[in-house]
Amino acid sequence: MNRTEYMAALRRALSVLPEEERASALRYYEEYFDDAGPENEEKVIADLGAPEKVAGQILADYREVTPVPPASDNAAPQQKKRRWNGINPWLLVVLVLLAIPIGIPLAGVLIGLIVTVFGVVLSIVLMVLAFAVVVPLCLLAAGVILCGMSFVLWSMPASAVMTLGCGLALFALGVLLSLLIIKLCILFVPPLFRAFVALLRWPIDKWRGRTHKNGGDTK
């Protein structure tokens, strides 16, 4: 074995070292051969011993400072244990149990608030219906009744004419009020109905959007 073969064998034996450390060790033995001269290569090789022995000593010294990487680059990588990043199931159960005493009163308050709002809205709707339906009907009915009574009072022309006039006026007012209410319903009822439906759908749409977003993040 000559110098070139010795250094090649030593390089292979030190392949587990980092590049910088390997180059430093090889440079040291290159200089050792240079100092001895070409005529003493065989003596140097005999003094140093086998390249594997020299490499073993270098690796032993290196292990005292820092761990040596695995000997084979083709070694199968260790599989990392998968960790569940969610909440611990037992912790979740404890949180649910602790939240029950608080959640039930809050649910009762929420239900009461919903019922109250529904009652107020229903009262307003009934008042509007009473004004929009009952008042025009009362005016129309009163006008018809007064017009009918005027025919009974023809023995007293003045009273009959006055009664007929009041009946026609009430009937006309009822017709005008009915037309006005119909016009207002055409203008405002559809937008109010759409706004009410949108208000009811808002929590559902909000929940669906959050669900889709979370589903997209988990991919």
One domain, residues 139 and 48:
no
Predicted pLDDT at 59: 87
CA distances from 140 to 77, 179, 214 (A): 92, 12, 60
One domain, residues 169 and 113:
yes
Of 16, 24, 9, 20, the closest CA to residue 60 belongs to 16
101 part of a folded domain: no
* C-beta of residue 54 within 8 angstroms of C-beta of residue 48: yes
Q: Which residue has the tokens 């993040």?
A: 217
Question: CA 132 to CA 183: how far, in whole Å?
Answer: 11
3-state secondary structure labels for all residues of 92-119: HHHHHHHHHHHHHHHHHHHHHHHHHHHH
Please enumerate in sequence order all residues whose Cβ is within 8 A of that of 124, keeping only pairs 6 or more positions apart, or say none: none
Of 133, 171, 177, 134, the closest CA to residue 149 belongs to 171
One domain, residues 35 and 112:
no
Domain count, the chain: 2
Domain with 14, as residue range(s), is 3-63
- In this prediction the pTM is 0.35
pLDDT per residue, tens digit, the chain (219 aa), is 788 888 888 889 888 888 888 888 889 988 988 888 888 888 888 888 888 888 888 888 888 766 545 544 444 444 444 454 556 777 777 777 777 777 677 777 778 888 888 788 788 878 877 777 888 888 888 888 988 888 877 778 888 888 888 989 989 988 998 888 888 888 887 887 788 788 777 777 777 776 665 554 444
80 part of a folded domain: no
Interhelix angle 51-63/3-13, nearest 10 degrees = 40
91 part of a folded domain: no
155 part of a folded domain: yes
Reported as half-sphere exposure (CB side, CA atoms, 13 A), residue 114 has a value of: 8
